[in-house]
A = this chain, B = another copy of it.
Amino acid sequence: MTDIARTARPTMKDVAARAGVGLKTVSRVVNEEPGVTDDTIARVQAAIDALGFRRNDSARLLRKGRTASIGLVLEDLADPFYAPLSRAVEDLARAHSTLLFTGSSAENAEREQELTLAFCARRVDGLVIVPASDDHRYLEPEIAAGVATVFVDRPAGGIDADVVLSDNAGGTRDGVAHLIAHGHRRIGFIADQPHIHTAAQRLRGYREAMAAAGLPVHDGWISSGPTTPEHVRAELERMLSGPEPVTALFAGNNRITVTAVRVLANRPAHPVALVGFDDFELADLLRPAITVVAQDPGELGRTAARLLFRRLDGSAGPPSRVELPCRLIARGSGEIAPAA
Interface residues of A (CB under 8 A from B): 1-2, 5-6, 8-9, 52, 54-59, 61-62, 65, 67, 69, 76-80, 82-84, 86-87, 90, 94, 99-104, 117-123, 140-142, 144-146, 258, 261-262, 265, 280-282, 285-287, 298, 314, 316
Copies of this protein, total: 2
A80 cross-chain contacts in B, Cβ below 8 A: 80, 83, 281
Give the distance to chain B from A85, nearest Cβ to Cβ, in Å. 9
Contact call B103/A101, Cβ cutoff below 8 A: no
Given contacts A5-B146, A54-B117, A146-B8, contact A258 B282 (CB under 8 A): yes
Q: Cα distance A146–B261 when bound, in Å?
A: 50
Contact B83–A79 (Cβ < 8 Å): yes
Q: Is the CB of B286 within 8 A of A145?
A: no
Instruction: List B contacts of A314 (CB < 8 A).
Output: 1-2
Q: How far is the CB of A2 from chain B (nearest CB, A)?
A: 6
A-B contact list, 24 entries, CB within 8 Å? A5-B146, A9-B145, A9-B146, A54-B117, A56-B121, A56-B123, A57-B121, A58-B67, A58-B122, A62-B62, A78-B86, A78-B87, A78-B298, A90-B102, A90-B104, A99-B101, A99-B122, A100-B101, A101-B101, A258-B282, A261-B285, A265-B285, A280-B282, A285-B286
**Nearest chain B residue, comparing its CB with the CB of A71:** B99
Do A103 and B90 have beta carbons less than 8 Å apart? yes
Q: How far is the CB of A221 from chain B (nearest CB, A)?
A: 25
Pick from B2, B57, B58, B78: contact of A61, CB under 8 Å: B58
Bound state CA distance, A76 and B298, in angstroms?
13
**Shortest beta-carbon distance from A174 to chain B in Å:** 24
Distance, CA A287 to CA B87, complexed state (A): 32
Q: What are the residues of chain B within 8 A of A316 when measuring CB–CB?
A: 1
Q: How far is the CB of A24 from chain B (nearest CB, A)?
A: 19
Q: Which of A65, A84, A122, A314 has the most CB of B within 10 A?
A: A122
Query: How distant is the Cα of A123 from the Cα of B120 in the complex, in angstroms?
Result: 18
Interface centre among A86, A120, A261, A314 (most CB of B within 10 A): A86
Q: CA of A314 to CA of B89 in the docked complex: distance in angstroms?
A: 35
Complex CA gap A78/B300 in Å reads 14
Name 9 extra pairs, CB < 8 A, besides A54-B117, A58-B67, A69-B122.
A52-B140, A55-B121, A56-B121, A56-B123, A57-B122, A78-B83, A80-B83, A90-B102, A286-B286
